[in-house]
Structure 1
Amino acid sequence: MRAALETDQVTPFTAVAVSQAWVPVRHPTLVVERQLSQSVEQRIGLRNETAMAGDNFMALRAEAFDGRSAGRLRYEDFIAAVGGLPAPFEQLRPGDLLSGEDDIGTYLWAEERRGDSRVCVLALRRLDDGVRQLPRGASALDILLRNCVNGTAEMALRPIMAETLLSDAAIGASPLRGTIQMLSPLAGPTP
């Protein structure tokens, strides 16, 4: 197990087409992916139109639990797996996170404000396969969002909210076109 974790830490990311992003975000700058020993990880680069240091991104880890329940997101394990907390949240403790709820469940988040109009959020959530289709047969998708915007916390949180994650451009669809590409295995040919 330890050897697998050490190998995971040095496994390189490979660029994939923006249309292969697991979640539909507006104007992704880059999508990279890597196969790990027990999961698949994807990173989606997001625009940062603020002067705040660091990159805006989503880190996603898809895992299969072989028929077992995925359970809850384990904060420390997930943060370690994605390489630690990004700026300006390096000192954040689990107890500092706020809890929110939307149509697909609970998410955790924190914000850092700079001036009147700049806000940075860090948000985490776990989706299970009962919420939406997950990539590569996964039974859980863990998501970390770091997003700084000129605006409100609600604007910064949009990429991790239910209306984005459940939109027509979800897994298998091009976020640029915004149309669903997934078909039921029972679907017939289209005219």
Structure 2
Amino acid sequence: MITDNVLVAFSGGSYSRVVLQFVHEWQVKVLKNYEASRDRSLPVFGVGVAFVDESTALSTKTSDAVALIQSTVLSLSPPAKDLHVVPIESVFGSDSLEERDRLVKLLDSVSDETGKEDLLLHLKMLSLQKIVSENGYNRLVLGTCTSRLASHVLTATVKVCCLLCPH
């Protein structure tokens, strides 16, 4: 009886690796408890893994990263995890060439690096939300370090101050 489907956002970095390992070990423990229970009424959850490929936006190749991520996910003990690898431009539709052109045009319209970084983060979250909604997940787990969280808080504070106190 699966009660939840959890999607783990996975970049291949150390924080997302820790989160994936933690969620996997938690799932294994819950599954063992379910199988050990007499009435099999304990909740069990499914896990999927998502990698948002930003290579078009960053003008890089990610084939090695994708292979490493596939290897990492496949190396986990059962139960198996569904792996979703989606290009960031897929938020625009299904025609890959048109999507790429649209993403490049959008990024080119943003003049400053901070704005581009914010836009990419927003598009990445939209990509993850799209995976969640299209694949029946009802939870999304991100691996974020405290430095990144502090950076978000400071950035948001500065943006609000700039809006409230015009130069």
Tell me which interval the TM-score lies in, with the shorter structure as reference length.
under 0.3
Provide the TM-score with structure 2 as the length reference. 0.27
More strand by share: 1
More helix by share: 2
Provide the TM-score with structure 1 as the length reference. 0.25
